[in-house]
Amino acid sequence: MLLPTQDIAGLCAHWHRIDESLLSDTGVELWLYCPTTTEPMISGNKWMKLQYHIKLIQQQQYRGLVTFGGAFSNHLAASAAAAQLNGFDATAYVRADVIDRQNPTLQYCLTKGMTLIATDRQTYRQRQQPDFLKMLALRHPGCLIIPEGGSSELGARGVAGLNLTDTPAGPADVIATATASGGTLAGLIAASTQQSAVSSNSAKVLGLTVVNDLSLPEKVANLLAEQAVDAACWRIVATAPDQRYAKCPAEHVNFCCEFTLKHNIAVEPVYTGRALFKLYKMIAAGEFAQGSRISFFHTGGLQGLAGLYYRQLITQQQYQILSAAAVG
The better pLDDT of the pair 161, 326 is held by 161
Adjacent-strand bridge partners of 65? 90, 144
Query: What fold, for 45-150?
Result: Rossmann fold (3.40.50)
The better pLDDT of the pair 3, 300 is held by 300
The better pLDDT of the pair 67, 163 is held by 67
Of residues 21, 24, 73, 196, which has the active-site annotation?
Answer: 73
pLDDT at 243 over 90: no
pLDDT at 190 over 90: yes
pLDDT at 328 over 60: no
Please, are residues 50 and 150 in contact by the beta-carbon 8 Å criterion? yes
What is the Cα–Cα distance from 75 to 150, expressed in whole angstroms?
7
pLDDT at 7 over 70: no
Report the amino acid identity of residue 320: Q
Record the pTM.
0.92
For the segment 21-46, the average pLDDT, to the nearest whole number, is 89
pLDDT at 158 over 70: yes
For the segment 129-144, the average pLDDT, to the nearest whole number, is 97
Q: What is the pLDDT of residue 8?
A: 43
Categorize the per-residue pLDDT at 229 as very low, low, confident or very high, splitting at 50, 70 and 90. confident
For the segment 303-313, the average pLDDT, to the nearest whole number, is 96
Q: What is the pLDDT of residue 6?
A: 36
Q: What is the mean pLDDT of the chain?
A: 91
Q: What is the pLDDT of residue 36?
A: 80
For the segment 123-127, the average pLDDT, to the nearest whole number, is 96
* Known catalytic membership, residue 292: no
pLDDT at 205 over 50: yes
pLDDT at 20 over 90: yes
Percent of residues, the chain, with pLDDT higher than 70: 94
Of the candidates 249, 241, 242, the residue with the CA atom closest to the CA atom of residue 270: 249
pLDDT at 222 over 80: yes
Q: What is the pLDDT of residue 245?
A: 84
pLDDT at 33 over 60: yes
- Which pLDDT tens digit goes with each residue over 277-305? 999 999 999 999 999 999 999 999 999 99
pLDDT at 325 over 80: no
Which segments of the chain are extended strands (E)? 12-18, 29-36, 64-70, 89-95, 115-119, 143-145, 166-167, 170-171, 174-179, 204-209, 234-238, 293-297
> For the chain, what are the domain ranges?
45-150
pLDDT at 4 over 80: no
For the segment 181-198, the average pLDDT, to the nearest whole number, is 88
DSSP codes of every residue in 138-160: HHSTTEEE--GGG-SHHHHHHHT
Categorize the per-residue pLDDT at 1 as very low, low, confident or very high, splitting at 50, 70 and 90. very low
Q: What is the pLDDT of residue 196?
A: 74
Q: Beta 234-238 vs 166-167: how paired, if at all?
A: unpaired
Q: Exposed, middle or buried by CB within 10 Å (0-12, 13-18, 19+), for 174?
A: buried
Categorize the per-residue pLDDT at 242 as very low, low, confident or very high, splitting at 50, 70 and 90. confident
pLDDT at 254 over 90: yes
Mention every residue, 6+ apart, whose C-beta is less than 8 A from residue 314: 248, 253, 269, 305, 308, 322
